[in-house]
Amino acid sequence: MKLNKLALISTAALMGIAPLMSATTSAHTVQAATNRAVMHTAIAYDKNGNSTGKKYYSYQYVTVESNPVKIDGTLYYKVSGKDQYLKATNIDGVTRKITHNAYIYKSSNGRTSYMNRWKLYKGETVTTYGGSYKFKNGKRYFRIAGPRKQYIKSYNLGPVIKVNTVQGPTTVTTNTKPTTNTNNTSSNSVPPMSKDETTVTVLRNGIPLLVEVPGKDKVQPSGKYAKNGEKFTVDYLEQGIRAGTGEDGDDDWEQAIYHIKGTDYWILNLFVNAAKKMPVHNYTLANRYSLIRFTKATDLYNTNGTPQNIKLAKNSEEWKVDKLLYIWVPSENKAEEFYHLAPVRYWQNVIRLSNNGQYTKDYMPLKADNYVKASDVKFVENSVKITPSNTPEEA
């Protein structure tokens, strides 16, 4: 990946970015202080565990000392420069097991998605933040992410199985009250990061934090961005459609995205240094799509086998197809195999037949129904193979 390619991608991604705001919620770094997001409204306590009356509200960012401290056996983060301590579970959360299949809610009667999923299943684990909330319907819910509202009903969750806060080698106890358990089997004693987690360090200012947007296959700028030297804990590395792998400017297929743990945000691998390598997941294969590539300018057809007088330009993207069938082509007096393109809701580079009979380059939205000859495109190996839904005779 050449440096000028990084600059091009960075410039494109930063269009429309809002003022600086960090979105780290789980970065565990060895440094004097770090900016952290409060994921659940948190009361500030003093060093003796007494409430100060000060509150830090959800998604407020606060500078805290990196190494957590213990007060009466509970882990807290000290607010930098103040005698204020915030419970670590309001920042890092805890891990719970899902005991019943669970939908994700944004309100008492409104559902939403979480990491592109509308339902979580029994046996999976999820991070929850702080205590449960009581909704208008009288039921209690735990927050699982943010800043978008995402909650799971509390009765679908089991007890805490892991405290997510990573303790450094010199975790401090701030008071001298006796405790009944000081060995490493305490409920607050946690192992190091998962083998599929690592810390990434941002390489320059103005790197966009990305989110999924309905109707878009690829993650989009969120309006927030990271600054040089900022650190995030990431728990997933992905290539494929969602990462924009293979798009223009990524001809060597290096582009991937890291998921920032405990948030809806992603960040491009091109703009961070990772503390260790992580396995790269292929979104295409994980989601089991049938895919094709356009290796040349390719005619788009209507459902009746007539050309639209529009060609899709050659490109390196992978395109989802949801059907393979025979269509009778009147101009050729025969049936041919066609792929049906899954609906595309954004504009494309095309080559359009103009009124003077010449093909010209254009940029326009595609119709809802588009077919391409199977012989004109390349099927992506290892994606889901599909068979024709009819026969030439039926066509």
CATH class belonging to 94-163: mainly beta
pLDDT bracket for residue 371 (50, 70, 90)? very high
Tell me the longest C-alpha to C-alpha distance in the chain. 90
Candidates 133, 109, 121; CA nearest to 39 is 133
Q: What 3-state DSSP class applies to 12?
A: helix
The pLDDT of residue 331 is above 90: yes
55-94 pLDDT, tens digit each? 898 888 888 888 889 888 789 999 988 999 999 999 988 8
Contact by Cβ (8 Å): 242, 219: yes
CA-based R_g, the chain, Å? 26
Distances (CA, A) of 376 to 132, 293, 337, 339, 365: 55, 10, 10, 10, 21
Kindly state the DSSP code that residue 24 receives in the 8-state scheme. -
328/336 Cα distance (integer angstroms):
6
> H helices of the chain, where?
3-13, 283-286
The model's confidence at residue 302, banded by pLDDT at 50, 70 and 90, is very high
Average pLDDT over residues 287-299: 86
d(CA 151, CA 247): 34
Q: What is the pLDDT of residues 109-160, one digit of tens each?
A: 888 888 778 889 988 899 999 888 888 888 889 999 877 788 999 888 988 8
Q: Where in the chain is the domain with CATH 2.30.30?
A: 33-92+165-173, 94-163
For the chain, give the percent of residues with pLDDT over 70. Answer: 81
- C-alpha angle with apex 19: 13 to 23, nearest 5 degrees? 80
Question: Of the candidates 311, 285, 289, which has an alpha carbon nearest to the alpha carbon of residue 373?
Answer: 311
Instruction: Choose the weakest-confidence range: 3-7, 153-157, 242-246, 277-281.
Output: 3-7
Q: How many CB atoms lie within 10 A of CB 392?
A: 13
Task: Domain 33-92+165-173: state its class.
Answer: mainly beta
CA nearest to 265, candidates 211, 197, 196: 211
| Residue 288: predicted pLDDT | 66
Do 270 and 9 contact (CB within 8 A), yes or no?
A: yes
Distance (Å, whole) CA 334 – CA 385: 24
Q: Structure tokens of 307? A: 């050309």
Residue 288, judged by CB atoms within 10 A of its CB (0-12, 13-18, 19+), counts as exposed
Looking at every residue in the chain, the average pLDDT score rounds to: 80
Let me know: does 325 contact 340? Beta carbons within 8 Å. yes
Instruction: Identify the pLDDT of residue 328.
Output: 95
DSSP 242: T
Instruction: Judge contact between 86 and 92, C-beta under 8 A.
Output: no
* pTM of the full structure: 0.40
pLDDT of residue 345: 56
Instruction: Give mean pLDDT, residues 166-176.
Output: 58
